[in-house]
Every structure is written in C-alpha cells, then in structure tokens.
Amino acid sequence: MTPMLALLQQAVTDTTGAYGHFPGVGGRGAVWVAAEVHLMFAAFVLGVPMFAVITELIGIVSKDEKYDKLSHEFTRLLVFAYSATALWGAMLLFALTTLYPKFWAHMTKIFSVSMWIYVSLFFVESFTLYLYYYGWERWQFGRGKWFHWGLGVLLNVWGTTVMLIANGWLTYMMSPPTGATAEGLPKGVTMWNAIANATWIPINIHRLIANAVFGGAIVAAYAAYRFLAAKTPEERAHYDWMGYVGNFIAISTFIVLPFAGYWLGREIYQYNQQMGITMMGGFMSWLWIVQAVLIGVLFLCANYYLWLGMARIPGAERFVPYTKWMLLLLIVCWIAWSTPHTMIATRDELVSMGGAHHPFLNVLGVMSAKNTAVNLMILTTFLSFLIYRRANKESVVPWARTGTLIQGAMFVIAAAVVLFYGVYGYFVEAIVRIGFSVYQVGAVLMCILGVSIIDAFIGRGARSRGEIRWGQMPERSQYALFVLAVTFTWLMGLMGFARSGIRQHWHVWEVMRDTSPDAFTPALGYAANMISLCVLIFLSLVAFIFWLGGLAERASHAVAPEPHGVAIPPGIAVARPGAAPVTGD
C-alpha cells in the first residue's frame, strides 16, 4: 500500500512545474515527433553502414568494382544523414529538458555516466565515418583496402554501441529493476542494472535486425528512384541491380524479425503480465490487425517485385505458371492472418453472430491460425526467392534432380509441420499451444537453412541459360519498392507506438507516474496521424538527402568523369545475383 500512497501523493504535489507547454501539438506530440524522426534517422545511419560494409567486403572478395561503387555511393548519403540524426537527437534532448523537466531529471540522475559515454562515442563515430568516407580513394588498394574495410566495421561497432546505450534508457522506462523509485535507484542497484534490465537484450536484437531491414529497404527505394530517373540503359541496369540487392537484404533479414519480436513480447509478458495483456489482448489488440495489414503488404510487394523481375531472366518462363498459386496461398494466408477475433459489427450483426466472435471465422481469429498463416507466408516468400535464383541456371552436378527432390520434400515437411501444429493447437491447453509456435518456427528455419545449403551445392558451376537483362524492368516494380520502403517506415512508427504505449500512464513503469494532462494513451487514429506526420517528415528529408547526393555526384563527375561502374561487367557474378550478399560467392 505504501508505495501506492507515495505515488498518489507524488501525483498531487508534483504536477506543478513538472511539464512544459508546447504550442500546437502539445508537449507529448513534440517529443513524439522529435523522438520518432530521430529514431528513423538513427535506424538509417545504423542500417546503411551495415549494408555498406557487407557490399564492400563482397567487392573486395569478388574483385567486382560495382559492389565497391555501391558501397561508396551509400557512404556519401550517410554523411548527410548523420548530421540529420544528430540534429533530431538534439531536438529530442531539448524537447525533453524543456517539456518534461522532472522526468528528464530522473533519467539524468540515474544514467548520467552512460550519457557521457554516449556523447563521446558519438564523437568517435563521427570521426570514423569521416575517415571512412574521405579515405575511400586514399586506401583503395591492397592492404590499405582492408584497413579501410576495418574502419567500416569499426563504424558499425560504434554505432551499435551507441544504440545499445540508448536502448538501455528506453527499456528502463518499460522494465525498471525492482526497487527503483521516483527518487532514484535503491542501494545495491547500479546504473548497469538499470541499463541491462529485463527487456534490454531482446530490444537490442530486435532493433539490430530491424535496422538491417530498414537499411535495405531505403537502399532499394533510392535505387528505384534513380532507376526511374535514369537516362541511359547502363544507368538503368545498375540501379535495377541495386534495387534488387536492397530488396534482397531487406526481405531476407525481415524473415527473422517476427521471431525476434516474439521473443521481445515474451520478455515483456514475463516482466509484467499486465503490460503483456495490454499489449496483446487489451487496449492495444487492434493495433495488431493494422500491423497484419502492413506486413501483408510487405510480403506481397516483395513477391510481386521478384515475379516481375523474372521477366528479365531467361529460363524463368518455366516457373511463371506457379506464381499464381503462390499468390493465391499468400492471399489466403493474409486473409487468415488479418481476420480479427473480436469483430467490428453493428448491433444487428452482433445479434446474428451471437456475440462479437463469428461462430465460423472465429477459428481464424486465434493465435494458432495466425502463426500458421505467417509461417506459410514466410515459406512462400522463400520459395519465390529460390525460383528466382534458379531461373537462369542449369545445374551440371549429376545429383541435381535428387537434390531438387530433397528440397521439395523439405518444403513439404516444413509446411506439414506448420499445418499440423496449427491444427493440433486447437485441441490442447494454452500453455502447450504456445510451445507449438517454437516447433513451427523451427521447422521453417530448418527448411530455409537446409534448402539454402543444398542450393549452394546444386548451383556450383551451373550453366547459365542466358544473361539477366538488367534494366528491363517494368516501372511498376519500382513503385513496389517505394511502397515497401514507406511501409517499413510506417511499420516502425507503429511498433514504436506499441512499445511506448503499453506503459500507458507511466513515464517509468510503476516507478514514475505521468501526471500531465497527456497521460492518457491516445486512440489508434490519433497515433496514426502522428506516425504519418513523422513518416512524411522523414521521407521528405531523406528525399532531400538523396537529391543532395545526386548533386554531389554530378559535381564529382564534372571534375573527373569516372569510367567505372556505369557498365555492368557481364559474367557469372551478375548472372547469379541471388547468392550475392549473404553467402558471398
């Protein structure tokens, strides 16, 4: 009782002077926009270096210059994006100190030392980035190139560490260590305990993967834009290829993201059941239907892009008839996934259904059906990738047929496991059913892994059925890439709202109460408006940065027209794009 009483007293006495006022959107709105746009840029400057370092490595290993050029092109964008990140970070900091002084005082009291480390790391990171970018020509050959690549790795290390520290602050707000009060941490609980709290590691993993996804999606959107604006066939070919690589990275990392999210949700549940129920079953439950719509769009766009891309691959014709059945499966799964359990219905409809649950579609509303649908969608998308990779190859290994049969069997087994546990889940108690999702996920991951390994061997020394006609892409495929990027950005905003919103009226969960007039958690509509605002601000700034990048490029071309990179060197590396970024062959 005593802590509750103390909290109540705090609520009464502390309201005055604890909150600042911001015109228009209000204090919370201002912090919301500053934090979200800062976070989007931060994801950009963390995701794109990952991308740059990987492509640079591929360039070094394969001695293919176009990878190096790609990497360089993105580092140039990074320099601009980096200052935008810092700018929005400063805005967020000032917004917090002026609008939430009391809360911010609490945070600085606990995290002061980590804040100093954070700033110094930021400093070091900037210098590494400048060295990395401006030293590109200086260290282009031999051992120097490896040194340069090391700089890129270092850049990622600094960036990730900075993110880990900031994650410590925000996860502290969700899951503070036991004993923390509004006055600070109790004796024996150190700052490290506050940083390494219950949800810290899951958030770190989740964000790291999501950053890679985001980096890939933004790269793809950039390539799409340059593709549409391209004037020569060579340019088109280059950006077509870049869009493909970006999309590949985005989707292949995206496939593991739901599992990371699942783990995070699990930890939240374990930390506090009430927070978990608010998230999944209570106030926030409708958010997941919106999320299902967004992710459905993501899966369909990614597949659509691949199917359209098959038109430029000689030999892909033999797979085209199957795409419509894959589409059908994706659509059916999407329908199952987005079916709400509790339906929006008028009174008459409620009466005829005998409640808010539909007697028949009810079956699709529960978690068993949704897990099954998502896993099948992941499998289908993976299959799309596989046939895309196979399209222009003719295997020369004698066991190719057997290998393909084994791969097919793997798909069938994985799908059967997913379906079996999906159906069996209806007949067991909740706690057992939850365990089933692990088997489903395990089957899908095993299938992806096994099939990829076999495929790598089947593809060894394969004959080409003809060169990929890079650049021969219908324009609508590029718009699909835009939709992908916008959707990823919006999804990030939505999930940010979910993560932050489940704290409800607490600044720091059950430690520091929000006593401002904005303490309520807004409805989805208001949240969607804020998310859209943030997304549009971010996208327009990114468009500006892209434009600046184009200017800088033109300037450098004017000084010294570079011959490299425009033409796609024909050869096996181009003909085997699917293998490129991950396996490195």
Partner 1 sequence: MWKTNLKVLAIALLVVGFYTTVAHIIPQLQSEVPEALALGSGVTPEALVAAGEKIYNGAGGCTACHGLGTRAPNLITDYKGQGAVGARCGTRKPGMACKAYLYESLTQPQAYIVQGFDPIMPDMRKQLSDDQIWAAVAFLESQGGEVDVTGEDIAKSAPAKGAAPAPTGPAMTATLDPVALYSEKGCIGCHQMDGKGGAVGPSWDHIGSRRSAASIRRKIIDPKSDTTKGFEKFAGMMPATFGQMLTAAQLEALVTFLANKK
Partner 2 sequence: MTRLRLFLRHPFWQAVLLLVVSYLAFTVGVRYVPPLFRVASAPVPGSVVLQYMFIAIVGILIFVSSDELRWRTFKQPLHATLVDQDKRWLRGGLLVAVPVLLGFATYQQARPKVEAPIQLRSIHPAPPGQITFRGKAMQLSGLENPLRKSGSMADHLREGKRVYYQNCIACHGDRLDGAGHYAHGFSPAPANFSDNGTIAQLTESYVFWRVAKGGPGLPREGTPWNSAMPVWENYLTEDEIWSVVMFLYDQAGWQPRRWEASPEERKNPTGAKQPAAPNAPKAGGAK
257 part of the interface to partner 2, by CB under 8 A? no
Residues 264-283 that bind partner 2 (CB under 8 A): 265-266, 268-283
Answer with the entry of partner 1, partner 2, none that 479 interacts with (C-beta below 5 to 8 A by kind). partner 1
* Smaller CB separation from partner 2, 382 or 436: 436
Angle at 479 between CA 476 and CA 484, to 5 degrees: 135
Token digits of residue 223: 């390539």
Instruction: State the distance between the two ends of the chain, measured CA to CA, in whole angstroms.
Output: 64
Minimum distance from residue 275 beta carbon to partner 1 (Å): 12
Identify what 476 binds: partner 2, partner 1, none; CB under 5 to 8 Å per kind.
partner 2
**Which of partner 2, partner 1, none is residue 346 near (CB under 5 to 8 Å by kind)?**
partner 2
State yes or no: residue 1 binds partner 2 (CB under 8 A): yes
Q: Which is nearer to partner 2, 188 or 561 (CB)?
A: 188
Quick one: DSSP state of residue 519?
A: G
Q: Which tokens in the block code for residue 435?
A: 């365990």
In three state form, how does the secondary structure of 434-480 look? HHHHHHHHHHHHHHHHHHHHHHHHHCCCCEECCCCCCCCCCHHHHHH
The DSSP line for 2-22 is HHHHHHHHHHHHHSTTT----
Instruction: Tell me: does residue 198 bind partner 2 (CB under 8 A).
Output: yes
Between CA 44 and CA 211 the distance in angstroms is 7
- Determine the 3-state secondary structure of 185 from DSSP: coil
Cα–Cα distance between 520 and 385 in angstroms, integer?
45
d(CA 409, CA 412): 5
492: partner contacted, choices partner 2, partner 1, none (Cβ within 5-8 A by kind): none
> What is the nearest approach in angstroms of partner 2 to the Cβ of residue 237?
18
Neighbours of 89 (CB within 10 A): 20
Tokens 């993560």: give the residue: 499
The DSSP call for residue 314 is: T
As measured in angstroms, the least distance from the Cβ of 390 to partner 2 is 18
The count of other CB atoms within 10 Å of the CB of residue 6 is: 13
Residue 334 in contact with partner 2, rule: CB under 8 A? yes
Specify the stretch interacting with partner 2 by CB under 8 A; choose among 103-111, 233-241, 353-361, 577-585.
353-361
Question: Which residues are registered as beta bridge partners of 394?
Answer: 463
Size of the residue set binding partner 2 (CB under 8 A):
82
Select 300 or 495, whichever has its Cβ closest to partner 2.
300
Question: Residue 491 CB, nearest distance to partner 1 (Å)?
Answer: 9
> Nearest distance from residue 369's CB to partner 2, in Å?
9
Name which of residues 430 to 469 contact partner 2 (CB under 8 A): 430-431, 434-435, 437-438
Residue number with CB closer to partner 1 (344 or 453): 344
Residue with tokens 């270096």: 49
Alpha helices (H) along 272-366: 273-280, 287-309, 320-338, 347-353, 362-365
Task: Report if residue 227 touches partner 2, rule: CB under 8 A.
Answer: no
Which is closer to partner 1, CB of 100 or CB of 149? 100
CA angle in degrees (0–180, nearest 5) for 143-144-150: 95
Smallest distance, partner 2 to C-beta of residue 328, A = 8
Q: Please give the Cα distance from 77 to 223 (Å, whole number).
A: 13
The CB-of-560 to partner 1 minimum distance in angstroms stands at 25
Residues that bind partner 1 (CB under 8 A): 8, 11, 225, 228-229, 278, 283, 286, 289-290, 293-294, 344, 479, 482-483, 486-487, 490, 501, 504-505, 514, 519-529, 531-532, 535-536, 539
In the complex, what is the shortest distance from the CB of residue 10 to partner 2, in angstroms, rounded to a whole number? 17
Compare residues 486 and 579 and give the one whose CB is closer to partner 1.
486
CA angle, residues 415, 578, 378, in degrees to nearest 5: 25
Counting contacts by CB under 8 A, is residue 324 touching partner 2?
yes
Counting every residue written for the chain, the total comes to 585
In single-letter form, the type of residue at position 143 comes to: R
Per-residue mark of binding to partner 2, 404-433 (x: CB under 8 A): ----------------------x--xxx--
Q: Which of residues 363-382 bind partner 2 (CB under 8 A)?
A: 365-367, 370
- Interface residues for partner 2 in 494-513 (CB under 8 A)? 510
By CB under 8 A, residue 233 contacts partner 2? no
